[in-house]
Amino acid sequence: MQVRPVIACVSLLSGALVALSGTPAQAASATQYVSPSGTAGAAGTQSAPTTLATAISRIASGGTIYLRGGTYNYSSTVTIPAGSNGTSSARTTLSAYPGETPVLNFSAQSESSSNRGLQLNADYWHVNGLTVEHAGDNGIYVGGSNNVIERTVTAYNRDTGLQLGRISSSTPSSQWPSNNLIVSSESHDNEDSGGENADGFASKLTTGTGNVFRYDVSHNNIDDGWDLYTKTDTGAIGPVTIEYSLSYGNGTLTDGTQNANGDRNGYKLGGDDIAVNHVVRHDIAYGNGHHGFTYNSNPGTMAVSNNVGIDNAERNFSFDKGTSVFRTNTSCRFNVSGSNDKTVGDADSSNQFYSGTNGSRCSSYSGALGWSFASDGHLAVTFGGKVVTP
């Protein structure tokens, strides 16, 4: 039986651990149920749901916390603390109850870097089916490693919707978040007051190796769709893979709001002339306010393949230097004139970049954009009524 940390002194009475106050210690639980009306003192069963904070403190490694549908109103960050880990064979799960949508609403927070929404600092968790909105900073912040974040929506937060980064300034680079998978998730309408920080998704500044974004959609954020920024102070991050994902309309919120400080790219892949060899494949950048795919001063050897850029305001593909390898990418223009692509590196004839005219492959991509997540989590994208996910 595990004794909760708040119980500082215990004695063995009649074969049971009992706090000196006479209150039995709470054993770790394999399953906890949470609802908007749950109370901290409740058992955490379906008929007596508890609060999310209480469930996190009770759940056993490899157990499951189910959140019932409805809106949960918070004024402070909800943290899954470092050390409360699952295992490689049995992740601890925080999941929407089947068929229901829990919404974690942090609109009571002011805009501040200390006011994140859901903060995951543990390892080997699976977070599934949650919406996190209106946080004063990031909607979801992942500081732990080997986690799966699936079918989440992060929206209307006042910094990047979902961001990976170190837990604190004292966290050594060997412990930066690594091997996290962000899958079948959506991030939109995130906006900071300065207009240059709130992206859809970010793995930047202080992240380790093996982080993957797959089947994700980022749209209508005030800054970039994806941000993999590096800076001299902290050095290189680990290579990131972004695959089978969609980035559109970034730089303009759904309601038409823009900010002149926003970078407005679909996929921003670097910073401060630091080389990182990211993998960017099978992605689409459509109608973003600046570039579709941009090296952003990353001079590394990125693998850029099977991507489609359509009608981004400046370049669909913008790589001014480096040794990146480009294969089977397609660039099209229909309603936005923009500029010719620039792809310094290894680009062979399998690519169709834009240089004033569209090539033959672009005929498949004319028309309105549409997208959805299939039941198996895959991203299905249509353009002009045709499936265009490359």
* Residue numbers annotated as active site: 268
Distances (CA, A) of 142 to 58, 180, 363: 21, 9, 40
DSSP state at residue 97: P
**Number of neighbouring beta carbons within 10 Å of residue 25:** 15
Burial of residue 155, with CB atoms counted within 10 A of its CB: 0-12 exposed, 13-18 middle, 19 or more buried: buried
- Structural contact between residues 360 and 370, judged by C-beta atoms closer than 8 angstroms: no
Residue 230 CA: distances (Å) to CA of 86, 205, 206, 239, 276: 30, 5, 8, 11, 9
Q: At which residue do the structure tokens 């981004």 appear?
A: 312
Distance between CA atoms of residues 215 and 181, nearest Å: 11
Angle at 223 between CA 355 and CA 110, to 5 degrees: 175
CA torsion sign for 125, 129, 135, 138 is positive
DSSP 334-362: SS------EEEEEE-TT-B--SSS--GGG
Per-residue CA distances from 233 to 205, 206, 300, 315 (Å): 9, 10, 18, 29
**Structural contact between residues 84 and 56, judged by C-beta atoms closer than 8 angstroms:** yes
Report the Cα 89 to chain-centroid distance in Å.
Answer: 23
Give the alpha-carbon dihedral of 141, 265, 211, 64, to 10 degrees. 40
